[in-house]
């Protein structure tokens, strides 16, 4: 078992089940903004699949059963149904039977066909997260996505029929994008009445093709003040259309459609990440795997855990994480977390006056404005 | 006692005192290889980094003279910078003679003259030494003439020397033996010794440097410190030879150290007299003149909890730097601290740095100022060195501030730049002369307050590093002073107030507000920063509220990354000071100091 010294007792945090994540690090081509770990050498998929199965076995007892499974990437939808079937056969025994586990698959619109959709459903996948990003061809090509706007719509139509729990990823804050154009995208997405929407602001990371273009001065990013406008606009628009803004970038048509898996990250519920580059969290430990398919597979071939690094969080670090993750969510942070110092109370009162938080039933909840500055809020306590 | 000689090496800055000391040391003691380096006596890190002596240093050299006798030469190397002349005057109280060093290429300079006067005041034997004769630009004849005419010393008595090349060292050693009288004193008389320096040792308490005038002292003796009557048992006595060298006794005429378990720092006072408990002398030795600080600033601990630690550190520090004066000060913005008086800018810088390095203090220093004079309508004259004590404006009849006589030497092509700078700093009556062809000396009177902040840096940058700057304190002159207040969201930040000339108030206000704007992070509300004189706002800046800081995604691995980022920011925040409702980082106070006006 690698002897890596992770806590061996299975921990259920306040009766919550842990979550299981599998990183599928393959894409047909790299998007211009992408800083996720993924490669285009698809011939390595069989090796990866074998290794993930081995890795899952290493942790069989450590976490207990999981009630969510998230197949993320990369592009999990480029796996064949057969490959997915192999994977799920290994993972299904790790999941609880009741309540019904949430099983999410991230899909690229190009990979969505009636046949695939049926196959995914047959495997028990019950939530589809579709990487639409935009409904404008020029934006999609700027982002370096492989699909086109027509592909987005077709995929949405098909998925809508096949899945009762559909989530759509969109991206805003692209250079030159107007607020009007963005609202148009939102409207198009709403036509399909998705249960869940993730609206991410484009962030240009160093080392990505977009990052290089930007430092070469080939485009100017959105002014910071505008970022705030887009954020508030999105929040207002979607809430008006019946979506709850429950996390900085996430919206759901009612709380039963919250992304159960992702919530575990924000609530510090234990999670196990399988696959290259995946992170895991248990108790006060976090560890992460090699960001290399080759090294990952090699470690598992010799029965070792493919762990590249780990950290043990101190009380203070855990608290800081609780705060900054909490202030990202509608739920907020428990008042008792902030108590103790008179300085903290003074801050709270000021923040309420400034319209950044509301104190309700023992919780300090960020307002829409407050969510926008969640990091600053966390640092005040 | 006839085999003892006590002498100091004195000179203008950089004329080669410490290098000469090296040669004298190497000529007389075997210095272990690992201790062999230039300016051996400059042991503090700051001294080595800056290449200047800050503290006087004592060493005893055994010397076998030409007359076949073995002598103990007590050498005290002194600093040359004007800010540390107090170190020189204390050293001289332990000596019967001096080596007055003059750089052969630079000739007699301001501190050569000033230090000569100190030596004459103490009635000491003076041996002129012309150093650096190895330099091609050495002008031995010219310097001899200066020694004769400007110093009034016998030019023929000067010894030619190159401390660098080791030329003339034996001549100097022989001259010390022959021309400096041995100490007078009486072994049999009751003990009288003068404390001229001290250092705090965590384990042993104060290590006191002293000169014994009469009697003797040895381990086991009971001694009394005359200023407060405290009695201590002597644990160890000895002399300095790069390290402390214990000896069985210190006797009349000797210079050395004494350890007597003096643990209470304030019990050791520089200038105090040590006598014996059993057989005390009646009157203490004269001690030292009180120092007159000229530059003032307040020191506050970064964290209010550290006030006591700062108080302790200052007390211990003062043992080793008697020129620092301080008293309690309080600010509503920064809490409890100390108002400190310094002998000059370099002194201020050194104190701040040594407190940080040797005592681990993180400090906030307020904008330095000078001591102003206010004549009130009732005729009373107030000396004010703290903006917080600025008198009620309606009661002020007249204000005055101290001036300096500055001497700036630059290559001809920079004269325009120097004049411009001096005029901006309210300089008046410039005079020009040509000390050497191609170089111009500008003599100008400037308000001291105008040179204590970044004047020298400005001069250096505008003359591409060629400008040299020297000054003497002058008299007080009438001025038109006002108090500039800085308000943050309407709250006056007392620690940022300053007394300035009316003409300069707006410039200052604008720059301070700009600097604060750069340093104060955005907060949950808008922040107004204002500069005001007598309730009238003369400058204003605004900091807008928080702006978006949250990142779009936060899953798995991003959490670690994000937390690390926030931890870094949090570290910075721990050093914030609350002013009213606004948190101000320490860096803001520092940035204001760097404000350059004009
Ligand atoms: N060429 C030459 N340079 C010398 C001689 N003596 C000293 N120097 C140089 O002059 C500079 C100043 O020497 P120091 O011995 O530090 O001068 P100081 O008088 O002790 O200076 P302060 O203690 O700061 O007043 C150093 O760079 C020395 O190397 C000499 O005889 N010839
Ligand atoms: S599909 Fe996703 S993981 Fe793959 S390159 Fe594009 S952004 Fe990156
Ligand atoms: Mg020196």
Within-domain flag for B429: yes
Put simply, the answer to whether B524 touches A374 (Cβ < 8 Å) is: no
Q: Which two tokens stand for residue B596?
A: 């350059």
Put simply, the answer to whether A376 touches B563 (Cβ < 8 Å) is: no
Distance (Å, rounded) from C-alpha B161 to C-alpha B529?
Answer: 60
Task: Show Cβ contacts of residue B423 under 8 Å, excluding neighbours closer than 6 positions.
Answer: none
Predicted local distance difference test score (pLDDT) of residue B593: 67
Predicted local distance difference test score (pLDDT) of residue A340: 62
Within-domain flag for B287: no
CATH of residue B96: 3.40.50.300
Predicted local distance difference test score (pLDDT) of residue A18: 95
Residues B313 and B407 grouped into a single domain: no
pLDDT tens digits for A354-370?
A: 889 999 888 999 999 89
Predicted local distance difference test score (pLDDT) of residue A7: 37
pLDDT exceeds 50 at position B161: yes
Query: Which residue is listed with tokens 């009697």?
Result: B215
Which pLDDT band holds residue A12 (cuts at 50, 70, 90)?
Answer: very low
Chain A contact set for B548 (CB, 8 A)? 224, 227-228, 231, 372-373
Residues B29 and B93 grouped into a single domain: yes
Chain A contact set for B566 (CB, 8 A)? 320, 324, 375, 378-379
* A220 interfacial to chain B (CB closer than 8 Å): no
Which pLDDT band holds residue B574 (cuts at 50, 70, 90)?
Answer: low
Residues B475 and B501 grouped into a single domain: no
CA distances from B287 to B20, B87, B301, B351 (A): 29, 13, 33, 23
Task: Show Cβ contacts of residue B550 under 8 Å, excluding neighbours closer than 6 positions.
Answer: A248, A328, A371, A372, A373, A374, A375
Helix, strand or coil for residue B429?
A: strand
Residues B269 and B220 grouped into a single domain: yes
Put simply, the answer to whether A373 touches B547 (Cβ < 8 Å) is: yes
Predicted local distance difference test score (pLDDT) of residue B278: 92
Residues of B with CB under 8 A from a CB of A: 522, 524-525, 545-557, 559-560, 562-563, 566-567, 569-570, 573, 578, 581
Domain ends where: B231, B248, B276? B276
- ipTM of the complex model: 0.88
- Minimal Cα–Cα distance from A273 to chain B, Å? 8
Residues B58 and B147 grouped into a single domain: yes
Within-domain flag for B303: yes
Q: Are A375 and B549 in contact (CB under 8 A)?
A: yes
Within-domain flag for B184: no
CB-ligand 2 contact for A72 (6 Å cutoff):
no
pLDDT exceeds 70 at position A3: no
CB-ligand 2 contact for A132 (6 Å cutoff):
no
pLDDT tens digits for A260-275?
A: 999 999 999 999 999 9
Nearest CB neighbour to B560, from listed A228, A311, A375: A311
Residues B360 and B442 grouped into a single domain: no
- Minimal Cα–Cα distance from A329 to chain B, Å? 11
- Minimal Cα–Cα distance from B365 to chain A, Å? 25
Within-domain flag for B285: no
pLDDT exceeds 90 at position B193: yes
Q: Which ligand 2 atom is nearest residue A145's CA?
A: 6
CATH of residue B552: 3.30.70.2570
DSSP-derived letter for residue B455 is H
Distance (Å, rounded) from C-alpha A184 to C-alpha A166?
Answer: 20
pLDDT exceeds 60 at position B313: yes
Predicted local distance difference test score (pLDDT) of residue B575: 58
Predicted local distance difference test score (pLDDT) of residue B573: 64
Chain A contact set for B554 (CB, 8 A)? 248, 265-266, 325, 328
Chain A contact set for B552 (CB, 8 A)? 200-203, 248-249
Domain ends where: B247, B276, B305? B276
Residues B403 and B385 grouped into a single domain: yes
Q: Which two tokens stand for residue B342?
A: 């310094």
Chain A contact set for B560 (CB, 8 A)? 279, 286, 288, 311
Q: Which residues pair with B447 in a beta bridge?
A: B403
Put simply, the answer to whether B548 touches A228 (Cβ < 8 Å) is: yes
Nearest CA in chain B to A327: B550
Residues B536 and B585 grouped into a single domain: yes
> Which A residues 250-289 touch B at CB under 8 Å?
262, 265-266, 271, 273, 277-279, 281, 286, 288
* A325 interfacial to chain B (CB closer than 8 Å): yes
Query: Which amino acids bring their CB within 6 angstroms of ligand 1?
Result: B 11, 13-19, 39, 51-53, 79-81, 131-132, 134-135, 162-164
On average, the pLDDT of chain B sits at 89
pLDDT tens digits for B363-402?
A: 888 888 999 999 999 999 999 999 999 999 999 999 999 9
- Between the CA of B18 and the centroid of ligand 1 the distance, in Å, is 7
Q: Are B163 and B16 in contact (CB under 8 A)?
A: yes
Distance (Å, rounded) from C-alpha A21 to C-alpha A170?
Answer: 22
- Minimal Cα–Cα distance from A201 to chain B, Å? 6
Q: b/e per residue, A67-104, with b = 16+ CB within 10 A?
A: bbbbbbbbbbbbbeeebbebbbebbeebbeeeeebbbb
Within-domain flag for B284: no
Among residues A130, A44, A32, A127, the alpha carbon closest in space to that of A79 is found at A44
pTM (2 d.p.): 0.66
Q: Which two tokens stand for residue B490?
A: 């309407």
Which pLDDT band holds residue A4 (cuts at 50, 70, 90)?
Answer: very low
Helix, strand or coil for residue A65?
A: coil
Distance (Å, rounded) from C-alpha B494 to C-alpha B479?
Answer: 23
Among residues A156, A154, A137, the alpha carbon closest in space to that of A146 is found at A137
Predicted local distance difference test score (pLDDT) of residue B233: 96
Q: Which two tokens stand for residue A250?
A: 């996430």
Q: By mean pLDDT, which of A211-225, B480-494, B502-516 is the weakest?
A: A211-225
Give the CA diameter of chain B.
88
Q: Which residues pair with B207 in a beta bridge?
A: B199, B259
CATH of residue B205: 2.40.30.10
Put simply, the answer to whether A325 touches B552 (Cβ < 8 Å) is: no
Within-domain flag for B46: yes
Helix, strand or coil for residue A22?
A: strand
Put simply, the answer to whether B549 touches A231 (Cβ < 8 Å) is: no
Ligand with smallest separation from the Cα of B52: 1
Burial tier of A267 (Cβ tally within 10 Å: 0-12, 13-18, 19+): middle
Angle, in degrees to the nearest 10, between helices A179-190 and A224-240: 30
CATH of residue B329: 3.30.70.870
- Between the CA of A130 and the centroid of ligand 2 the distance, in Å, is 12
Put simply, the answer to whether B548 touches A354 (Cβ < 8 Å) is: no
CATH of residue B399: 3.30.70.240
pLDDT exceeds 90 at position B327: yes
Within-domain flag for B186: no
Q: Total structural domains in chain B?
A: 5
Put simply, the answer to whether A371 touches B550 (Cβ < 8 Å) is: yes
Put simply, the answer to whether B549 touches A351 (Cβ < 8 Å) is: no
Residues B255 and B267 grouped into a single domain: yes
Residues B316 and B380 grouped into a single domain: no
Residues B263 and B327 grouped into a single domain: no
CB-ligand 2 contact for A26 (6 Å cutoff):
no
Residues B39 and B104 grouped into a single domain: yes
Put simply, the answer to whether A317 touches B563 (Cβ < 8 Å) is: yes
Predicted local distance difference test score (pLDDT) of residue B487: 93
Put simply, the answer to whether B549 touches A277 (Cβ < 8 Å) is: no
Among residues B580, B491, B486, B595, the alpha carbon closest in space to that of B537 is found at B486
Predicted local distance difference test score (pLDDT) of residue B168: 95
Chain B contact set for A317 (CB, 8 A)? 563, 567
Chain B contact set for A281 (CB, 8 A)? 556, 559
Burial tier of B282 (Cβ tally within 10 Å: 0-12, 13-18, 19+): exposed
For testing the chain A interface, which of B548, B559, B561, B568 should be mutated: the one with the most A CBs within 10 Å? B548
Interface A:B, Cβ pairs < 8 A:
93
Helix, strand or coil for residue A168?
A: strand
Among residues B14, B102, B22, B21, the alpha carbon closest in space to that of B51 is found at B14
Nearest CA in chain B to A20: B556
Distance (Å, rounded) from C-alpha B298 to C-alpha B32?
Answer: 43
Residue B463, domain extent? 372-479
pLDDT exceeds 50 at position A1: no
**How many CB atoms are closer than 10 A to CB A240?**
8
Distance (Å, rounded) from C-alpha B71 to C-alpha B91?
Answer: 20
Ligand with smallest separation from the Cα of A31: 2
pLDDT tens digits for B519-539?
A: 887 877 888 999 999 989 999
Q: Strands B243-247, B205-214: parallel, antiparallel or unpaired by DSSP?
A: unpaired
pLDDT exceeds 60 at position B125: yes
Domain ends where: B337, B365, B393? B365
pLDDT exceeds 70 at position A342: no
């Amino acid at each position: 078992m690698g002897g890596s010294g992770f806590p061996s007792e299975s921990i259920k945090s306040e009766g919550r089940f842990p979550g299981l994540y599998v990183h599928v690090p393959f894409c047909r081509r790299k998007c211009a903004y992408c800083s996720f770990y993924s490669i285009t050498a698809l011939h390595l998929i069989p090796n990866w699949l074998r290794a993930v199965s081995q890795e899952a076995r290493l942790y069989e007892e450590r976490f207990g059963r999981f009630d969510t499974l998230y197949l993320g990437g990369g592009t999990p939808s480029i796996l064949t149904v057969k490959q997915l079937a192999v994977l799920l056969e290994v993972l299904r025994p790790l999941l609880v039977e009741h309540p019904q586990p949430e099983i999410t698959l991230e899909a690229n619109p190009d990979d969505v066909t009636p046949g695939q959709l049926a196959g995914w459903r047959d495997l028990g996948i019950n939530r589809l997260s579709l990487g639409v990003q935009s409904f404008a061809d020029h934006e999609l090509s700027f982002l370096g996505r492989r699909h086109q706007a027509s592909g987005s719509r077709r995929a949405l139509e098909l998925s809508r029929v096949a899945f009762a729990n559909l989530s759509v990823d969109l991206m805003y804050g692209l250079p030159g994008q107007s607020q009007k154009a963005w609202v148009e995208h939102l409207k198009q997405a709403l036509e399909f009445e998705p249960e869940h929407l993730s609206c991410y602001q484009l962030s240009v990371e160093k080392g990505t093709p977009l990052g290089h273009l930007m430092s070469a001065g080939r485009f100017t990013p959105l002014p910071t003040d505008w970022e705030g406008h887009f954020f508030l606009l999105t929040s207002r628009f979607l809430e008006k259309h019946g979506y709850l803004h429950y996390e900085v970038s996430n919206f759901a048509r009612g709380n039963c459609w919250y992304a159960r898996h992702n919530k575990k990250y924000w609530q510090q519920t234990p999670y196990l990440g399988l696959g290259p580059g995946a992170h895991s969290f248990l108790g006060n430990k976090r560890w992460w795997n090699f960001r290399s398919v080759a090294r990952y597979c090699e470690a598992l071939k010799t029965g070792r855990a493919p762990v590249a690094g780990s950290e043990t969080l101190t009380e203070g670090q855990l608290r800081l994480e609780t705060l900054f993750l909490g202030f990202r969510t509608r739920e907020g942070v428990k008042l008792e977390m902030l108590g103790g110092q008179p300085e903290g109370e003074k801050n709270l009162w000021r923040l309420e006056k400034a319209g950044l938080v509301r104190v309700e039933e023992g919780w300090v909840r960020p307002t829409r404005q407050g969510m926008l500055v969640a990091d600053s809020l966390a640092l005040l306590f | 006692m006839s085999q003892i000689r006590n002498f100091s090496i004195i000179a203008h800055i950089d004329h080669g005192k410490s290098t000469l000391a090296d040669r004298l040391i190497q000529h007389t003691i075997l210095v272990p290889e690992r201790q062999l380096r230039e300016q051996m006596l400059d042991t503090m890190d700051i001294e080595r980094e800056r290449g200047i002596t800050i503290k006087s240093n004592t060493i005893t050299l055994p010397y076998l003279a030409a007359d076949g006798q073995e002598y103990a030469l007590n050498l005290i190397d002194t600093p040359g910078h004007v800010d540390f002349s107090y170190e020189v005057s204390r050293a001289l109280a332990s000596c019967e003679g001096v080596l007055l060093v003059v750089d052969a290429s630079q000739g007699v300079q301001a501190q050569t003259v000033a230090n000569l006067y100190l030596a004459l005041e103490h009635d000491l034997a003076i041996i002129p030494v012309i150093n650096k004769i190895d330099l091609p630009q050495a002008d031995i004849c010219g310097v001899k003439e200066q020694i004769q005419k400007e110093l009034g010393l016998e030019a023929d008595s000067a010894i030619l020397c190159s401390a660098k090349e080791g030329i003339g060292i034996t001549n100097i050693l022989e001259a010390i033996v022959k021309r400096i009288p041995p100490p007078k004193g009486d072994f049999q008389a009751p003990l009288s010794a003068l404390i001229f320096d001290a250092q705090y040792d965590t384990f042993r308490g104060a290590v006191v440097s002293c000169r014994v005038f009469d009697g003797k002292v040895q381990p086991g003796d009971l001694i009394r410190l005359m200023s407060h009557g405290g009695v201590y048992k002597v644990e160890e006595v000895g002399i300095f030879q790069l390290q402390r060298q214990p000896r069985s006794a210190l006797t009349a005429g000797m210079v050395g150290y004494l350890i007597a378990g003096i643990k209470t720092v304030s019990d050791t006072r520089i200038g105090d007299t040590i006598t014996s408990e059993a057989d005390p002398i009646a009157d203490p030795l004269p001690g030292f003149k009180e120092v007159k600080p000229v530059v003032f600033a307040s020191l506050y601990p970064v964290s209010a909890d550290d006030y006591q630690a700062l108080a302790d550190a200052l007390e211990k520090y003062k043992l080793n730097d008697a020129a620092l004066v301080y008293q309690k000060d309080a600010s509503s913005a920064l809490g409890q601290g100390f108002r400190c008086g310094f002998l000059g800018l370099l002194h201020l810088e050194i104190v701040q740095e040594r407190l940080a390095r040797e005592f681990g203090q993180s400090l906030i220093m307020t904008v330095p100022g000078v001591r102003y004079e206010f004549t009130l309508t009732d005729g009373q004259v107030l000396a004010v060195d703290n903006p917080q004590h600025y008198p009620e404006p309606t009661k002020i009849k007249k204000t005055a501030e101290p001036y300096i006589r500055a001497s700036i030497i630059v290559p001809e092509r920079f004269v325009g730049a120097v004049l411009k700078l001096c005029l901006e700093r309210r300089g008046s009556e410039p005079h020009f002369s040509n000390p050497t062809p191609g170089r111009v000396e500008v003599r100008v009177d400037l308000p001291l307050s105008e040179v204590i902040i970044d004047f020298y840096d400005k001069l250096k940058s505008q003359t591409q590093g060629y400008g040299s700057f020297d000054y003497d304190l002058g008299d007080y002159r009438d001025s038109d002073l006002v108090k500039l207040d800085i308000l943050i969201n309407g709250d006056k930040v007392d620690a940022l107030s300053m007394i300035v000339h009316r003409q300069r108030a707006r410039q200052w206000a604008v720059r301070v507000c700009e600097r604060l704007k750069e340093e104060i992070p955005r907060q949950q509300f808008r922040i107004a920063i204002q500069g005001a004189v007598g309730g009238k706002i003369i400058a204003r800046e605004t900091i807008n509220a928080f702006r978006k800081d949250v990142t779009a995604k936060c899953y798995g691995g991003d959490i670690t990354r994000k937390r690390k980022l926030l931890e870094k920011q949090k570290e910075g925040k721990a050093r914030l000071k609350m002013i009213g409702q606004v948190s101000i980082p320490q860096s803001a106070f520092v940035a204001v100091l760097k404000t350059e006006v004009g």
